[in-house]
Amino acid sequence: MKKFGCITALIVILGLAIFGYVRFYYPFGEGVKSGELNYVVHKGVIFKTYEGKLIQSGIRSKAAGAIQSYEFEFSVEREDVARELMLNSGNTVQLHYTEYFGALPWRGFTKYIVDSIVAVQPVVIE
């Protein structure tokens, strides 16, 4: 009976470890988003993270009769990428991101993690 309990506990611990890895560390997908960079801020109480918002062109509606813009909220792990984004606020940017199933507090508030800047196109005022 003691051997059965040890094997069961080992299987449960292994299952929880696999679940945690898939939920928080296994990349679900990756891609590139393009739009006007609204802001990037460094915020947090215990874990200071870089958070940003990209406004994509076009409109969509979450509810009938309402109009809302496409907003892509993301987190940035690397400080050098975050600083570069802060300098390009208001410009049109293309960002490469990795999507995870869940967010970790020390990685950011969102499940979308921007890891590089593909292109920056300054806004031309006519």
Q: What is the pLDDT along the chain (126 residues), one digit of tens a residue?
A: 788 888 899 999 999 999 988 888 888 899 999 999 999 999 988 999 999 999 987 766 566 666 666 889 999 999 999 999 999 988 999 999 999 998 888 888 999 999 999 999 887 776
**Whole-prediction pTM:** 0.79
Give exposure, 23-53, as e/b (b: 16+ Cβ within 10 Å): eeeeeeeeeebebbbeebeeeeeeeebbbbb
- The CA distances from residue 25 to 7, 53, 55, 100, in Å, are 26, 23, 27, 7
pLDDT score, position 24: 86
- The CA distances from residue 45 to 32, 97, 113, in Å, are 30, 25, 19
Please state, in angstroms and rounded to a whole number, the distance separating the CA atoms of residues 62 and 57.
16
pLDDT score, position 64: 63
Please give the backbone phi and psi of residue 40, each rounded to the nearest 5 degrees, phi first: -140, 125
pLDDT score, position 123: 74
Domains of the chain: 27-121 (2.40.50.140)
Q: SS3 helix, strand, coil % of the chain, rounded to 5?
A: 25, 45, 30
